Chain A
């Protein structure tokens, strides 16, 4: 057990040296590292948001809204499909999260079902083979047909919407400026945004808090919203409320539901100022198709109002004074400079597929982050030094070996975290300090055993040897159980717990290595140099 081949010795030493090399960059600033030669590692441990300050936002998609929207398109599609097939239902509506079609002639039911089946889309990918359909169509009593979205169908919509939402969120965040922000999917319907270095999250939240679906609508030529509300809403039209700010507050408009130009045709939006009133506005530009449609519409409707609708609320309803042919225009809507800016960014980056709400927010200001780093450093230094003093005091020369192993342990954890790029959090620092404290346990077990063997009258060599041998299973056992706990923390834990679990896990592996191998090597080297001298060997423990 105490024999070390030259090769093994070199391997252990090399491991220690490489660790030092990888841990070293953490002692320097980024600027200093930039001037280092290329062959040296310069990666530092990334700091968690709780240490460098920043915002952590967990956004939840409104899956109910997604379902509602799907049902609405489905209803419209069903109506159109049947009309194309010359089947005329008495009513098509949404009942209990299903689209219900009521046929005038029940004998047409089979034909209607055949037509409606065209709306079904297969699920799954071509590679993996299709696995089911997104709609279930059933015949009910008395000439009714039910179109029900299947759970996997809805699931797929959620997945697609999440993908689209992540792209939009990314674009919006990038507009805030360069930053090492991350946007990742979490679970099926959540998006995690991490934005380091942000003190005031208001801008970020405003930017993400709105779907920003913009569209241009035709206003009903004769009927007002008030009249429609009392009488009957003409088919194809809908009542839209005015936006909450400015003049439109409390107003309502009767607009054609299908927009003249949808928001997808917008290619650019910039904040600007109205040249006459000096009021903040947004100037926009359509793509070719949008420009053509808008030109035709404005030519035909000079003198009549049209409505600019944002997220189902009317921003403004200006009267068309002359045809707008260039494909660009401006939106006024009682903006402030700030809100015009935000909306311009939102319009440029496209609408979100669904509204996002903030399910969880954790923000740490830079001052607290800096305080936490200082506190963590202090606690690590004090904890580490006392531990070193304690083992040295308790075990003499062998205690120094253990202390050296502890230092190597600390360096190795830092080196691994830097090399792999594991984020260091405040709980992570606690995990690190704790690992160092608990890593001593391995050495304590070994050394107590050596003392016992010496007391039992064994020679120095055999006492040291059996100390290491006998203790190693115990050490392995105890570390493995802590490892089990750490794995579970990592598996189930979120943010801060994960940081703790990661350092704990890394610490477990490095401490097995250092406590068993490094101290054993030191003990073996010591024994060799003692043997060179003559006389009885006495273990300094």
Chain B
């Protein structure tokens, strides 16, 4: 059976035994990252997030012209502006005959949202078919905002607990800062460009957390192994070595993930677009943070080989 599979070597496109001095500029990088995080927090408080229907409440309608002719957004705007349902946002979406209409949350309760949607559908008449309707009332949107926030915080805590349990506390601290960094920067970018932030983005954030911690764990594992192996090596050199040794893996995995995400971004349809965009940013930022944040923290806290080899059992199992 094995004869059916051709025997050939893969193309090893990474130079090995690279000695890129990642740690050379760690201070500059680290503090830049900290500054970026602060900037993102400021952005969040000043510009805020452009919440989607999930979190803000209100109505979103995706309609398509029945004839397949391009939609006339201008005339639509005229039709809908006088309905007295507040601000109506109309934008092209995907194909040229596809339009997205957004209504802000109507004052009052659940029933007012439905009434406003009815008005809009009535005004549009028979030329359009509904493709998608999302109406979220005030109670549900407040709830989704809260649970979304709790989910992200819980995920970070769970991951920290795991890393703390598996590694030494210095690694856990590095992981916390790296994770918070990833979430903050992605959210910050969404705030800066006022991209729509909805439930899907929260799912993306959680997945980014998983991905980023994955990266951190792989590097940490190697750091630990090297701490045991090279007891006399200077920490900075050792960190550099570990990052270099895992570099080909970091790049290849990052690359395949990005390729997959690109295919989702291009072919996956307009509904998933912002989700994949957030994921794409997250993969890049997560990779960066594993190298430039999680590792340098160890330099700050000065992890020593004794700290690691202290746990004899772990060392023994790694040797076998």
Contacts and interface: CB of A to CB of B under 8 A. Distances in A.
B89 to A, nearest CB: 19
Interface string B117-149: 000000000000111111111011000100110
Given A372-B271, A383-B264, A541-B9, A481 B110 contact: no
Nearest to A372: B269
Interface in A348-369: 357-365, 367-368
Contacts of A50: 271
Interface in B226-281: 245-246, 248-249, 252-253, 255-257, 259-261, 263-264, 266-269, 271-272, 275-276, 279
A368 B263 contact: no
Given A397-B7, A485-B155, A529-B3, A383 B139 contact: no
A494 B206 contact: no
Given A358-B137, A361-B134, A427-B203, A394 B252 contact: yes
Contact of A357 (B3, B109, B264): B109
Nearest to A205: B114
A445 B155 contact: no
A497 B267 CA distance: 20
Chain B interface, DSSP helix/strand/loop, else mixed: helix
B135 A360 contact: yes
Contacts of B109: 357
B79 interface: no
A481 B264 contact: no
B249 A448 contact: yes
A155 interface: no
B191 interface: no
A359 B139 contact: yes
A487 B209 CA distance: 13
**Contact count band on B:** 35 or more
Nearest to A377: B267
Contacts of B133: 201, 361-363
A438 B137 CA distance: 37
B13 interface: yes
Interface stretch (A94-102, A332-340, A385-393): A385-393
Contacts of A488: 151, 154-155, 158, 206
A375 B267 contact: yes
Contact of B137 (A360, A379, A525): A360
Contacts of B264: 379, 383, 430, 433-434
Interface stretch (B25-33, B42-50, B210-218, B292-300): B210-218
Given A478-B214, A492-B150, A371 B5 contact: no
A379 B162 contact: no
B8 A437 contact: no
Contacts of B185: none
A236 to B, nearest CB: 32
A445 B114 CA distance: 53
Contacts, number: 261
Interface string A242-280: 000000000000000000000000000000000000000
A478 B269 contact: no
Interface string A492-507: 1110110011001000
Contacts of B214: 438, 441, 478-479, 481-482
B19 interface: no
B64 interface: yes
A58 B140 contact: yes
Contacts of A392: 10
Contacts of A400: 5-6
Contacts of B137: 60, 357-360
A391 B181 CA distance: 31
Contacts of A530: 2
A397 B162 contact: no
B36 interface: no
Contact of A496 (B200, B211, B267): B200
Contact of B131 (A365, A436, A440): A365
A397 B5 CA distance: 7
Contacts of A482: 207, 210-211, 213-214
B303 to A, nearest CB: 18
B5 A394 contact: no
Contacts of A437: 256-257, 259-261
Contacts of A462: none
B10 A474 contact: no
A232 interface: no
A379 B268 contact: yes
Nearest to B144: A494
Given A371-B269, A396-B10, A60 B139 contact: yes
B10 A393 contact: yes
B12 interface: yes
A444 interface: yes
B316 interface: no
Interface in B270-314: 271-272, 275-276, 279
A37 B11 CA distance: 47
The 3 closest A-B pairs by CB, nearest first: A437-B260, A375-B269, A482-B210
Interface of B: 1-3, 5-13, 16, 62, 64, 109-111, 113-114, 129-137, 139-140, 144, 147-148, 150-151, 154-155, 158-159, 162-163, 166, 199-200, 202-203, 206-207, 209-211, 213-214, 217-218, 221, 245-246, 248-249, 252-253, 255-257, 259-261, 263-264, 266-269, 271-272, 275-276, 279, 317-318, 320
Interface of A: 50, 58, 60, 199-201, 205, 357-365, 367-368, 371-372, 375-376, 378-379, 382-383, 386-387, 390-401, 426-427, 429-430, 433-434, 436-438, 440-441, 444-445, 448, 451-452, 455, 469-470, 473-474, 477-482, 484-489, 491-494, 496-497, 500-501, 504, 525-526, 529-530, 540-541
Given A469-B320, A481-B214, 18 more contacts: A357-B111, A357-B137, A358-B113, A362-B134, A364-B131, A379-B268, A382-B263, A386-B263, A393-B10, A399-B10, A426-B269, A434-B279, A436-B260, A440-B253, A455-B16, A474-B218, A482-B207, A493-B202
21 contacts: A199-B129, A363-B134, A367-B129, A379-B269, A383-B259, A383-B260, A387-B259, A392-B10, A394-B11, A400-B5, A427-B203, A434-B257, A437-B261, A445-B218, A473-B317, A478-B213, A482-B213, A484-B162, A485-B155, A488-B154, A492-B154
